[in-house]
Amino acid sequence: MSVNYAAGLSPYEHKGKCGQAELFDSCDELEKKVTLLAELIRSSKCLVVHTGAGVSTSAGIPDFRGPNGVWTLEERGVAPKFDTTFHEAQPTFTHMALKSLEQAGYLKFLITQNVDGLHMRSGFPADRLAELHGNVFVEQCPTCQTKYYRTTTVPTVGLKLTGNACEAKKGTNARVCRGKLRDVTLDWEDSLSERDLQLADFYSRAADLSLCLGTSLQIVPAGNFPLYCRKNGGKLVTVSLQKTKQHSKTDLVINAKVDEVMRRLLELLNIESLKAELHLSPVLHSVHGPATLPLAKEPIQKRSKRKLVDNEEGIIEMKPPKLEAATTKLEAATTKLEVDSTKLEV
Ligand SMILES: NC(=O)c1ccc[n+]([C@@H]2O[C@H](COP(=O)([O-])OP(=O)(O)OC[C@H]3O[C@@H](n4cnc5c(N)ncnc54)[C@H](O)[C@@H]3O)[C@@H](O)[C@H]2O)c1
Ligand SMILES: [Zn+2]
């Protein structure tokens, strides 16, 4: 699959603000801001990071709304150019820095809108990660929920049949499931995965520090999650080259490249950066143990009011999930990850 996965999405008119001017903090400003961010991280008890397309642009995967974003160019009638494929793209400094921050005990949970699978492929612990809009390397069985992490991208987007059958063996007589697998990458009208949505909602509320990296925050619910921590007196920090949708509610706005910020941040926190490596199946070794969810009284869809599109504000909304049980099970071909504990620890 080309990195232009947008080409596989259905037509959609309202794509938000594209091609806004890029902003760069001066060296002095940047140093002060990253020093403040390091202090905030040191004193935080629950740091949650939210990432978007901007953490993968240095891997050669274009964003959507930056000056050379797929939709910015589309608005100008220019065809986007692609230097890599999802298959070839390697984790960036920022992907590895986030893994380092998790291993150092600072980062409690990572929420991404990206579908490039690079957080998972960098070896970031799968049970501390929510991939809100899917992952182009994954297909899933709707019958038994088994997830298959492939080494190459699956052929479809939009939760379509991929042509493969589930090989999971279930029960004592080890009957093969044979469910028809579907991709997990969302199209506009598709529902978010209940497991990822529940975890993202829970950790966004538990956070005392939300750090957004390389996202314009124009898509909801993803773009609203970082705000939740402010209700508990938490702080919101954004690192982006463009003004984000939540600019007026952001406590610290850093206008710089994410890799540059993360490099300095790790230095200030005295954390060694890990070398880039590619993991082809999910890694489950979080220093915090598996993520835990309280048993929700009802699924999130019932608790929050949502609009599909608000044209006036240019908000783009991914549909909430279909009603499902509050606890969900995610199984990889070789690993099993359960998110059904009643513990409230973060
Ligand atoms: N890599 C991917 O998986 C990928 C790529 C393109 C789009 N998307 C999809 O786009 C949608 C979400 O939009 P979004 O907010 O993530 O993307 P977006 O294009 O709306 O915003 C990305 C933002 O990151 C900033 N940015 C780009 N490179 C940066 C860098 N090196 N340092 C700092 N900032 C940088 C841009 O200025 C831009 O504001 C999601 O649905 C997501 O699936 C994903
Ligand atoms: Zn199955």
Residue ranges of the domains in the chain?
5-339
**pLDDT confidence of residue 300:** 58
Q: Provide the pLDDT for residue 295.
A: 55
Q: Does 46 count as an annotated binding residue?
A: no
Is residue 229 annotated as involved in ligand binding? no
Domain 5-339 part of CATH 3.40.50.1220:
yes
Pocket of ligand 1 (CB under 6 A): 52-54, 56-58, 61, 63-66, 69, 113-116, 133, 214-216, 218-219, 239-242, 257-258
Per the CB < 8 A criterion, the answer to whether 198 and 298 are in contact is no
For ligand 1, atom 1: residue with the closest CA: 53
Coil vs helix vs strand at 209: strand
C-alpha to C-alpha distance for 158 and 310, rounded to whole angstroms: 22
pLDDT tens by residue, the chain, 346 residues: 566 677 778 877 778 899 999 999 999 999 999 999 999 999 999 999 999 999 999 999 999 999 999 999 988 999 888 889 999 999 999 999 999 999 999 999 999 999 999 999 999 999 999 999 999 999 999 999 999 999 999 999 999 999 999 999 877 777 899 999 999 999 987 889 999 999 999 999 999 999 999 999 999 999 999 999 999 899 999 999 999 999 999 999 999 999 999 999 999 999 998 888 899 889 887 888 777 666 555 555 544 332 333 333 444 445 444 433 322 333 332 333 333 333 334 5
What is the position in ligand 1's atom list of the atom closest to the CA of 244?
39
Closest residue by Cα to atom 11, ligand 1, is 113
Rg (CA), the chain: 19
Q: What's the pLDDT score for residue 109? A: 97
Nearest to residue 340, comparing CAs of 186, 132, 145, 121? 145
Which ligand gives the minimal distance to the CA of 175? 2
Say whether 279 is catalytic.
no
Sign, CA dihedral 148-153-158-160, equals: negative
- Nearest ligand atom owner, CA of 144: 2
According to the annotation, is 141 in a ligand binding site?
yes
**Strand spans (E) along 214-333:** 219-220, 235-239, 252-254, 309-310, 315-317, 328-331
Catalytic residue of the set 14, 133, 279, 285: 133
